[in-house]
Structure 1
Amino acid sequence: MKKTVFIPMVAMFSIAIIFTSCKPSTKEVQDAQENVQEAKEDLAVAKRQANADEWQNFKNEMNAVIEKNDARITALKKEIKKTGKAADAEYDKKVDALEEKNKELKLKMENYKNDADSDWQSFKREFNHDMDELGNAFNDLTVNNKK
């Protein structure tokens, strides 16, 4: 009879010890939650700073490219004036279109606000695409496809 009472008592005592020892203290849980929240806030601040730095670098690089394009356009216009051929009317229109596109890109860069509501990566991808197209248009301008 002692065995039948002893075994369930030991089992119940063991279960009670396991449940009480597995329960985490609420202070530790609160501290852990606070640490996680602080880490999230620190990450958000670091991410905003990284985006701001990346934006400034991107803006400086693209402004340099836009200025280079302005210089190329000016050189092309001077070249057109030197030759003075009637066939250059079409060439002049193409140069004017490139100049307009370059101005649009410059304005787009100036008007972009790098804030929390804007999608920086999307803007960067679209702007790079537009700059590539403009670069290709400059290259295509000098190619003569007529045979």
Structure 2
Amino acid sequence: MIFSALLLLAGTEMISCNSSAEKVEKAEDEVKVANENLDEANSEYLADIEKFRLETNEKIDENAKSIADFNARIATDKKAAKAEYKAKIAALELKNTDMKKKIADYKADGKDGWAKFKEEFNRDMDELGKALKDFTVKNE
């Protein structure tokens, strides 16, 4: 019986040694697979970065083209805008000339007439002043 117990103990030791060796081998295999997965993941990561760079550069180039197109339109629109500005300025000059003529042509017509004229004239002058201010602010 003692001999059987010793045999059992020796057998268990041998099995556990094999088991430890198998565990080490299995762990080494797992490390190898993990390293391969890591290398693959790094390759995918680097490929993704390169893909992103290419896509981003394409978008940046598209944006640059859009900006160039916009600047070209502005250059052509400026000429049309200048004509529009000249027309607005001419209208403002005409209104100003009309106001000058209106005050020069005013004939005394009593206090009530004067109050009414003054009120209308001031209102028209305020509108002209506002129009001039708005025009200047928009074009600065």
TM-score scaled to structure 1, two decimals?
0.45
Bigger relative contact order (CA 8 A; separation at least 6): 1
Which structure has the larger Rg over C-alpha atoms?
2
TM-score scaled to structure 2, two decimals?
0.46
